[in-house]
Structure 1
Amino acid sequence: MNQPIVQSSGGVTLVGGGPVSARDLRLALARAPLAVAADSGADRLLAAGHMPDAVIGDFDSLSPGARAAIPAERLFPQAEQDTTDFDKALSRIAAPFVLALGFQGARIDHGLAVLNALVRHADRPCLVLGPKDFAFACPPELTIATRPGEPFSLFPLARLRAESQGLHWPLHGLRFAPDGMIGTSNRVTARQVTLRVSGPGMVVILPRRRLDAAIAALAPGAPRSARGG
Structure 2
Amino acid sequence: METERQHPESINADTAATTCVVFAAGTYFDERPSIPQGAFVVAADGGLDHARALGIHADAVIGDFDSISGPVPEQSGTIRLPEEKDDPDLLSALKVGWAKGARTFHIYGALGGRVDHSIANIQILARLAAHGGIGYLFGDGTVVTAISDGSLAFPAEAATRGAGRMVSVFSHSDRSIDVTERGLKYRLDHATMLNDTVQGVSNEFLTATPAQISVGAGTLVVTFPAEAGLPHVTRRHPFSGDLGALSTAVSHALATPRQ
Please tell me whether residue 210 in structure 1 is matched to residue 228 in structure 2.
yes
Which runs of no fewer than 5 residues in structure 1 stay unpaired? Answer: 1-7, 220-229
Indicate yes or no: 2:204 matched with 1:187. Answer: yes
Whose helix fraction is larger, Structure 1's or Structure 2's?
1
**Cα distance, 1:32–1:188 mapped onto 2, change above 3 Å:** farther
Compare 110-119 and 29-38 and name the one that shifted more: 29-38
Q: Secondary structure at the match of 1:138?
A: strand
Cα distance change of structure 1 residues 176 and 199 upon mapping to structure 2, 3 Å threshold: same
Q: Alignment partner of 2:85: what SS?
A: coil
Match of 1:176 among 175, 193, 202: 193
| Local SS of the residue matching 1:24 | coil
Q: Pick the aligned partner of 2:152 from 142, 150, 157.
A: 142
Q: Contact 2:17–2:38 (CA<8 Å) still a contact in 1?
A: no
SS at structure 2 position matched to 1:17: coil
Establish whether residue 72 from structure 1 lines up as the match of residue 75 from structure 2: yes
Q: Give 2:90's aligned residue.
A: 86
In the TM superposition, residue 62 of structure 1 has moved relative to its aligned partner by 3.3
After TM superposition, the structure 1 = structure 2 runs for residues 23-34 of structure 1, keeping only pairs within 5 Å, are 23-25=31-33, 28-29=34-35, 33-34=39-40
SS at match of 1:52: coil
Larger Rg: 2
Offset at residue 208 of structure 1 (A): 1.1
Question: CA contact under 8 A between 1:37 and 1:56: conserved in structure 2?
Answer: yes
| Cα deviation code 1:26-61 (max 9, x no counterpart) | xx2256753210111112212333332101233333
RMSD over aligned Cα atoms: 2.5
Q: Across the two proteins, how many residue pairs are aligned to each other?
A: 204
Runs of 4+ in 1 over 4 A off after TM superposition: 30-33
Task: List aligned pairs for 1:101-120, cutoff 5 A.
Answer: 101-120=108-127
SS of equivalent to 1:114: helix
- Residue 244 of structure 2 corresponds to none
TM-score, normalised on structure 2?
A: 0.69
Residue 153 (structure 1) aligned to one of 163, 168, 185: 168
Once the two structures are TM-superposed, the CA of residue 188 in structure 1 deviates from its matched residue by: 2.6
Pair 1:101–1:191, CA change in 2 (3 A): same
Q: Distance in 2 between matches of 1:153 and 1:32?
A: 31
For 2:35, what is the secondary structure of its paired residue?
helix
